[in-house]
Amino acid sequence: MNNKKRYSIGCDIGGSHISCGIVDVASGYIQENSLVSVKVDNSSKHEIIIKAWTQAIENCKKLLPKEGHFLGIGIAIPGPFDYENGIGLYDNSNQKFVHLKDVNLKKELSISLKLAIDKIKFINDATAFALGSFWFGSGKGYKKTVTITLGTGFGSSFINNGKAIDEGSSVPDSGCLWHIPYKDGIADDYFSTRWFVGKYDELYNIKVEGVREVAKMAKEADINALNLFKLFGENLADCLAPHLKNFESEVIILGGNISEAYEFFKPSLLEGLQVRKVKTDIKVSKLKESAAMLGAAALFKE
């Protein structure tokens, strides 16, 4: 067994689908042709969701190399969630997975997959993204990484030597930044798609669909779009600086849709951090959507 390659199945669960892949936990290589995706509405009854997840995982499991050693299944899923025990804590606050409240998903999947319960592990999706980046992506070679996802919401994770840090004096409460007070609200209000949409309308009385539209205008040297990205970078530096200093971050890894427009807020972000005497590298995730899947699979790395 010691000479065999070790594999786990990494699963990334979103609001409308589950995606799975077979991962070599040593290299982070996702086995070719092993990717399986099944659509399932998060508002469905829990039996329907379990059935869809089981189908996807079983189809993926059939593709495991016969000569390898199967370690288990890692599942990245949004909270609120009891990750250790595998129980949904959804209270309809984010209008997702409402029928998974108080459901022991670890137990149910163990039964439906005919798999020992210790072969199934859950992890927060933002933390999975961070761990995937740490082990196999832009964070490789660093000890302390801060991963930021910028999209519909503001995700974050603080990683120290392959471990997610969610308590203690070096990180904010729960190891998250989205809920911390910032200016007239919380950080999530300023570092998400809705900020771009709302701020563009407020400043210029023009409605835009999202960040991609603003980025397209910025590429065409539109001064309004460029100024908005400049303000975004300034705010991001202002918000992140004390936490980066406190954690002694070596690198920030950016993910999410907004990170694809990094070139437009890079100058103001770098300048803002420099003014605040924060020294850290900044990288855009190269793993993109596979990062969470890899991070979930890495739960079986040790």
15-37 pLDDT tens trace: 888 999 999 999 999 998 999 99
N-terminal to C-terminal alpha carbon distance within the chain: 15
Domain with CATH 3.30.420.40 in the chain: 6-128+291-300, 141-285
- Between CA 267 and CA 236 the distance in angstroms is 12
Q: In sequence order, what E strands does the chain have?
A: 6-13, 17-24, 29-30, 36-39, 69-77, 81-82, 87-88, 120-124, 144-150, 154-160, 163-164, 181-182, 185-186, 251-255, 281-284
How many Cα atoms are found within 13 Å in the side-chain-facing hemisphere of 269?
21
Residue 1 has pLDDT above 60, yes or no: no
Q: 6-128+291-300 belongs to which homologous superfamily?
A: ATPase, nucleotide binding domain (3.30.420.40)
- Between CA 175 and CA 137 the distance in angstroms is 21
Residue 92 has pLDDT above 80, yes or no: no
96 pLDDT tier (thresholds 50, 70, 90): confident
Query: Is there a cis peptide before residue 78, judged by omega within 30 degrees of 0?
Result: no
Q: 141-285 belongs to which homologous superfamily?
A: ATPase, nucleotide binding domain (3.30.420.40)
Q: Say what the pLDDT of residue 171 is.
A: 96
Question: How buried is 15 (Cβ within 10 angstroms: 0-12 exposed, 13-18 middle, 19+ buried)?
Answer: middle
57-79 pLDDT tens trace: 999 999 999 889 999 999 999 88
- Between CA 20 and CA 38 the distance in angstroms is 9
Q: Say what the pLDDT of residue 186 is.
A: 94
How many Cα atoms are found within 13 Å in the side-chain-facing hemisphere of 74?
31
Q: What count of residues does the chain have?
A: 302
202-253 pLDDT tens trace: 999 999 999 999 999 999 999 999 999 999 999 999 999 999 999 999 999 9
